[in-house]
Structure 1
Amino acid sequence: MADNHTAKRDEFYETISTFWDRLYGMEYALYDCLELSDTDVADIRTATKEAYNVYKKMVRLIRQASDETLIDLGFPGKALEFLRMQLLPYETVIGRFDFVQTKDGLKILEFNADTPTFIRELFDVNGHVCQEFRMTNPNAGEDDYLGKSIRNSVFHCARQIGVTDHPYVVFTAHEEDVEDRETMMYLMNVSQIKGARFVPLSMLQVVAGDGVYDSEGMRIDVVYRHTYPLEALLEDVTDDEYPIGIEFMRLVERRKVGMLNPVSAFLMQSKAVMAAIWGMHEQRHPLFTEEEHKVISRYFLPTYLDEEPFLASGVTYVSKPAFGREGDTVEVRRQGETLFQQKAKSYAQYVKVFQQYVDLPSADVQTEIGTVQAHLLIGSFVVNEKPSAFGIRAGAQITDNLSYFLPCGVKGANEWT
């Protein structure tokens, strides 16, 4: 039975070129389709829109904050000179909320506003799986919107640095990372920007005070570094200790080169922003309207910059770094004791935030090894400030880089896309 499922799965995914249906030699994309209702779809889009509007208002306040406050919110010292830059009419081009469905409705675990992956899976592959399983794809048409949004953002970015003719746009990533590389290739292809190229990060030439060039000496107008986190870029140095990342950011600051996602996306990225939002909500701060306080109460979990509130209440909570990915350095704790955690501790140097723990719902999913029970996490994209594609990760209680991509669809009356 399992062998037959694997054969059908492999035959199907072989039809989708350059897609990483397996990662680290293991099954990643499932040959299965989770059934959602129209209400589920509407709820996710509403939550995404309303939560983003709260974040957008908050980040405008944070941009005016003192350096000391920014440090308290977990931003690295090296970022301070750049954090207040605003070169686009959007705070982020592509961001992704992670929601969990609880008995009290959808709750936000985090907002990856700067470098979210899971893009091709939801904007492209989910539709192919829905067609295979005769379901309606809830993300139909979002790939076209994504392409238009990238083109629009590139246009704005180029104008901000004084480029009035057609800009030379480079999409970049670590070439050896298949997921990062192919995500950037997908974004480049869906954007349909004339003359755009993929150039590996290692091939970019940063000339201090002048500009950024490709390996052939062509000056780059806009660098799309979507999978390269800004906190990593700021630490980037050459073999001879030249601070290439800082010099690149100074070129962005001096409008010698454009960069997407913009710095404002990084300003939203710190998980400590959730703590700031929750703290202001508890104080009924007038920054937020009564309706926005209701939104915060509905979708946000109690989140703090210290664990004292949870130690006092005895409530189970999660310790997570302000900057971190794939569940790395995350611990589930009660009364200061660790209940379970990820082995990886790559982000231990960052400020920690403490968030009320909620169980991820579970469902039976079809895998190569048979039916397994997996915990479900909803990833929902914001593209140029509008709700866009969403989808499901299925895995452990702490979602990590070994979690499955579980396609999802809506049962339609013989109608599918």
Structure 2
Amino acid sequence: MDRRDAFYTSIPSFWDRLYGEEYALYDCLPLEQKDINLIREATNEIYSIYKKFNHMLKGVPDETCITLGFSEKALPFLKMALLPYETVIGRFDLIPTVEGLKVIEFNSDTPTFIRELFEVNGLVSKQFGMANPNAGEMEYLGKALRNSIFHCAKQIGVTGHPYVVFTAHEEDVEDRETMMFLLKVAQVKGATFVPLHQLQVDAGKAVYDGMGNKIDILYRHTYPLEALLEDVSDDQFPVGIEFMNLVKQRKVGMLNPVSAFLMQSKAVMAAIWGMHELRSPFFTEREHQIINRYFLPTYLDEAPFVERKERYVKKPAFGREGDTIEIRENGETLYAPTKTTYDHYVKVYQKYVELPKALVATEAGKKEAHLLIGSFIINEKASAFGYRAGEHITDNLSYFLPCGVKGGSE
């Protein structure tokens, strides 16, 4: 415990403990290069399916978007395209199975777990005498952020250096420090952090910081768009809708872009799987092979699993950290979460796959935990990845388990 605390306290402003509990483990999961290659290959191939599907979604009727779980408030903004790529920072959640890697979610709009994998994982792997599988990815992330800011500024007609603001809820240490990390990595001249509560939206005109300076580009990476659309002030002014109107009018730029939100609904996975089951000509034979290899059967109804007597997961189209996720069999609940924050969203039903287990070193000694891989796609390229270790449903109390490559150090 002393070694652990001494190591993590040497990393400035890192949340190695969350909710008063150990979060970052003083341990390092050994990997082989073939493991890394498989994760990167899966990430690139899964993203290629989402990208193609997202392009098609921009042309579907509004009723289809409603079916996929998007609210009516989102409809006027869903088809906007302001960047040459669908998301700047996205993260797939992957499960290693006997049949290979399977994707269970795509957090394309507001993924966290960024600083852990792009910076801290390398520090831990070095401490344990292993090579960092994410070496060089922090530099690539910085270039990707600058590239997205350049394209965003161009689309809204800003010349010269745009005024870029990174924002988050100031009281949430993980969200705040994630944005501070992105700000540091981006290295954009004049960019700054401004807490969400200090932002001012002037309907039809502009967005301002707490000092009254007009913001050109707002990076709201940890504030989900579905929550932003519902945001109202104390006097019932629709802050979120008016902000999005300014984005639509190109009076302010926003990152991640709306196209990232369009991929965020888990119901998209059900649509992709449904088209695959029907052997839709929309996907090429090669793309059908990718879907069959990496995707799990996913539906908007539980009937297929009940008929086949298969165990499945019931999850909301939008949600985070295992909240509102149930494990079910024959229509009966086997596991129910303590939190049901996202129960009002459209539900998705996905084949249940058991997470693999490993012994991990905690402050309380060795502990068996289930492993989940988080793998980032940054400007359409597979990037940093890493592991969460916890219960059979990964939640906000799951550990960050660093990983390294055996037989080397960097």
The TM-score bracket by the shorter chain reads over 0.9
Q: Which amino acid aligns with 1:159?
A: K
Whether 1:57 aligns to 2:52 is yes
Partner of 1:416: 409
Q: Which amino acid aligns with 2:337?
A: Q
Partner of 1:80: 75
Shift of 1:340: 0.5
Distance 2:255 2:81 in 1: 12
Q: How does 1:54-203 map to 2 (within 5 A)?
A: 54-203=49-198
Shift of 1:158: 0.5
Query: Any idea what the Cα deviations from partners look like across 1:261-297, whole Å, max 9, x if unmatched?
Result: 0000000000000000000000111111111100000
The one of 386, 392, 402 aligned to 1:391: 386
Q: How does 1:17-416 map to 2 (within 5 A)?
A: 17-412=12-407, 415-416=408-409
Distance 2:249 2:48 in 1: 29
Distance 2:141 2:282 in 1: 31
For residue 269 of structure 1, give the secondary structure of its aligned residue in structure 2.
Answer: coil
Shift of 1:318: 0.3
Shift of 1:146: 0.2
Distance 1:217 1:330 in 2: 42
For residue 19 of structure 1, give the secondary structure of its aligned residue in structure 2.
Answer: coil
Shift of 1:416: 1.1
For residue 373 of structure 2, give the secondary structure of its aligned residue in structure 1.
Answer: strand
Query: Any idea what the Cα deviations from partners look like across 1:85-115, whole Å, max 9, x if unmatched?
Result: 0000010000000000011000001000000
Q: Which amino acid aligns with 1:317?
A: Y
TM-score by length of 1: 0.98
Query: Any idea what the Cα deviations from partners look like across 1:99-155, whole Å, max 9, x if unmatched?
Result: 000110000010000000000000000000011000010000000000000000000
Q: Which amino acid aligns with 2:179?
A: M
Shift of 1:76: 1.0
Give ranges in structure 1 of 5+ residues lacking alignment.
1-5
RMSD of aligned alpha carbons: 0.5
For residue 387 of structure 2, give the secondary structure of its aligned residue in structure 1.
Answer: strand
Distance 2:349 2:278 in 1: 18
For residue 229 of structure 2, give the secondary structure of its aligned residue in structure 1.
Answer: helix
Aligned structure 1 segments of 4 or more residues deviating by more than 4 angstroms: none
For residue 138 of structure 1, give the secondary structure of its aligned residue in structure 2.
Answer: coil
Matched residue count: 410
Distance 2:331 2:365 in 1: 38
Q: Which amino acid aligns with 1:193?
A: V
Q: Which amino acid aligns with 1:177?
A: D
TM-score by length of 2: 1.00
Distance 1:96 1:69 in 2: 25
Shift of 1:193: 0.3
Q: Which amino acid aligns with 2:366?
A: T
Task: Report percent identity of matched pairs.
Answer: 68
Partner of 1:3: none
Query: Any idea what the Cα deviations from partners look like across 1:162-218, whole Å, max 9, x if unmatched?
Result: 001110000000000000000000000000001000000000010000010011111
For residue 185 of structure 1, give the secondary structure of its aligned residue in structure 2.
Answer: helix
Q: Which amino acid aligns with 2:294?
A: Y
Q: Which amino acid aligns with 1:60?
A: H
Shift of 1:341: 1.8
Distance 2:9 2:208 in 1: 36
